[in-house]
Amino acid sequence: MKIAVLSNAQHSHQLTIHNGETFSSVISIPTMTDAFHMTLADFRKAVENNSGAQVEGTLVAPIAPEIELWGAGVTYLRSRDARKEESGVPDVYQRVYEADRPELFYKGNSKRTRGTKANIGIRYDSHASVPEPEVAIFINRHKEIIGYSICNDVTARSIEGENPLYLSQAKMYVGSTALGPEMSPSWLVPTPAEMTIDATIIRAGKSIWSASTSLAALNRTLSDLVDYLFRCQNFPDGVILSTGTGIVPPMDIALAEGDVVEITVAGIGTLSNPVVVIPESPVGF
């Protein structure tokens, strides 16, 4: 069972349950924001007591306008190594990996986030951009993890490597984030050791790169990330945190227009997005 967000003529961002091929309405939780306001116990009760009425709509990214999406960096050994490879100041990333305080940054909102099958973007002024496959956790206003999804934290690698202070330009631009396809309730997901993460870049119908890891390789606990995220912060409508990547392509692999990125997380699903180049003035994207 997955929690899906649908958009249709009658309802914008209607919260539903996805069972296989059908969508059934969750009457007591009309929107994603309402879910984040509930305690985990109340959320689970509402989900398990859904009406079962079949509904129709278009699957969209599971994020509401009120909810922020944040990211965590250098939380896997592979991420640390990749940042050190690309950077002129590699010691910075070694220190972040070993520090008590994690790297946390604002990634975007619903306007900046794409759902599965929607286009993701690579900057026209970056000669190397890569996907960053991640597990995203959905945290309610009570600091409880209510669900899990997949995030593609697309990164302009050449810009990020040029200077650590360019992080926002490397990670926060039109089309730089995909989230979905749905949210898996936290009480139904596999253990971290079982939650494998597989990523593939497909070009002209063929895989040009693939890699795997698991959530068990995360260098920090999820509770630690949540605690730091909520320090001196207020998330009255909840928040989504993408927990960092343990998969980064080698330096000679970069995204190109027409590629398709597929990320599969065991127990959550597959997030698939075609790649386009984002121009200097991305009107209408």
Q: What is the pLDDT of residues 152-200, one digit of tens each?
A: 999 999 998 888 889 899 999 999 999 999 999 999 999 988 999 999 9
Nearest to 72 by CA among 130, 114, 132: 132
The count of C-alpha atoms lying within 13 angstroms of the C-alpha of 247, restricted to the half-sphere facing its C-beta, is 27
Please name the residue that has the structure tokens 């993460």: 197
Position 95 confidence tier, pLDDT thresholds 50, 70, 90? confident
Topology adopted by domain 68-278: Fumarylacetoacetate hydrolase; domain 2 (3.90.850)
Q: Alpha-carbon distance 264 to 172, whole Å?
A: 23
pLDDT in tens, 246-280: 888 888 999 999 999 999 999 999 999 999 999 99
Query: Would you give the end-to-end CA distance of the chain in angstroms?
Result: 32
> What letter does residue 125 receive in the DSSP assignment?
T
Q: Alpha-carbon distance 118 to 120, whole Å?
A: 7
pLDDT in tens, 32-72: 899 999 999 999 999 988 877 788 888 999 999 999 999 99
- In the chain, CATH 3.90.850.10 covers 68-278
Higher pLDDT, 164 or 89: 164
CA distances from 169 to 109, 174, 195, 252 (A): 16, 10, 31, 21
Radius of gyration of the chain (CA): 18
Q: Are 57 and 14 in contact (CB under 8 A)?
A: yes
Higher pLDDT, 32 or 99: 32
Distant-in-sequence, close-in-space partners of 206: CB < 8 Å, separation ≥ 6: none
Q: Which amino acid is at 38?
A: M
Q: Are 167 and 160 in contact (CB under 8 A)?
A: yes
Distant-in-sequence, close-in-space partners of 247: CB < 8 Å, separation ≥ 6: 78, 132, 133, 197, 199, 211, 212, 213
pTM for the predicted model, two decimal places:
0.93
CA–centroid distance for 209 within its chain: 20
Q: Are 210 and 201 in contact (CB under 8 A)?
A: yes
CA max distance for the chain:
56
Per-residue pLDDT, averaged over 90-118, amounts to 85
